[in-house]
Amino acid sequence: MGKASRSKQLRKDSATDFKPNTGDRTWTIVVGALAIVGVVLIAMVATSKKNVQAAAPLLGDHWHAAVGINICGTWEGDLPAYETTVGIHSHGDGLIHMHPYKTDGEGDNASVGTFYSSSGYDYKITETSIKTPVATYKDGDKCEALDNKPGKVRWYVDGVEQTEGNAWDYAPFDGEVVAIAFVPEDYSVGQPPSVTALANPSDVEPSGATQTVLPEQTIVVPGETSASTAPDVATPTTAVSASSPTTTEVETNTATTSALR
């Protein structure tokens, strides 16, 4: 064989050696496809789980979350017992009781805002202000009880400060602790007193539809040197029992008895 023939044969053998293996390429495609499918499935499961969580609590669920508002270092009193038609209510223990009776009480509707606004008291919380029945506290107002330092709205879930969103719109999960505060930046808020009730929540339904009066509480209003107290709320009157005679009836009966004698 001449040199030219040997050179052609070597080039042919080299080309054969570097020819892509069809089997290896197919295997690579299969592995890549499986990886893509796996990623898609994981994303679908995560999305499904997120959607389920967003929809909860559902009809028949029985959830509780502790909540409290701290104004310049002082925790507000717990809301009194009250009931709603959708099942978001209070037993007067500082817990948000979430027992949806209707779809209107499910998911995001079971929020901190629903709990406070349904109480009948004038509360409203935004990212920069907290309105209570006696005063409104805005970012920058001074907390006299805390060395006149400027306060700001801050809120926590299970002890972790939240930097996005609004506590008013937050729908807590079962067993969570939500702390809302108007305090200076360097103040340590801690947990609301109602956290102790989570261990053994009261599930006795509130009796009757009468709203209980909030206990009087001392609150420092920014810009004032003296503390103010929550305004009085009309206390429901008690109807006179039909079996108990009135004073007029007693006097009439006495006069009749004397005449008979």
Please spell the DSSP secondary structure of 114-183, one letter per residue: HHHHTTTS--EE-SSEEE-SS-EEETT-EEGGGTTEEPEEEEEETTEEP-SS-GGG--PPTT-EEEEEEE
Who wins on pLDDT, 35 or 121? 121
**pLDDT tens digits for 206-247?**
444 333 344 444 434 444 444 444 434 333 333 333 333 444
Residue 49: inside a domain, yes or no?
Answer: no
Residue 29: inside a domain, yes or no?
Answer: no
CA distance 123 to 108: 19
Low-confidence winner among 40-44, 60-64, 84-88, 240-244 (lowest mean pLDDT): 240-244
Residue 11: inside a domain, yes or no?
Answer: no
Residue 70 has pLDDT above 60, yes or no: yes
Low-confidence winner among 95-104, 137-146, 242-251 (lowest mean pLDDT): 242-251
**Judging by DSSP bridges, how do beta strands 81-82 and 88-91 pair with one another?**
antiparallel
Residue 33: inside a domain, yes or no?
Answer: no
Instruction: Identify the residue whose tokens are 């805002």.
Output: 113
pLDDT at 117: 94
Q: Helix (H, G, I), strand (E, B), or coil: what is residue 64?
A: strand
Asked if 151 contacts 184 with a C-beta cutoff of 8 angstroms, the reply is: yes
Structural domain that includes position 97: 63-229
Across the chain, how many H-helices and E-strands are there?
Answer: 4, 15
Residue 225: inside a domain, yes or no?
Answer: yes
Residue 78: inside a domain, yes or no?
Answer: yes
Q: What are phi and psi of 39, to 5 degrees?
A: -60, -40
Q: Helix (H, G, I), strand (E, B), or coil: what is residue 77?
A: coil
Number of domains in the chain: 1
Residue 28: inside a domain, yes or no?
Answer: no
Residue 84: inside a domain, yes or no?
Answer: yes
**pLDDT tens digits for 4-50?**
554 545 455 554 554 555 666 777 777 777 778 766 565 554 444 44
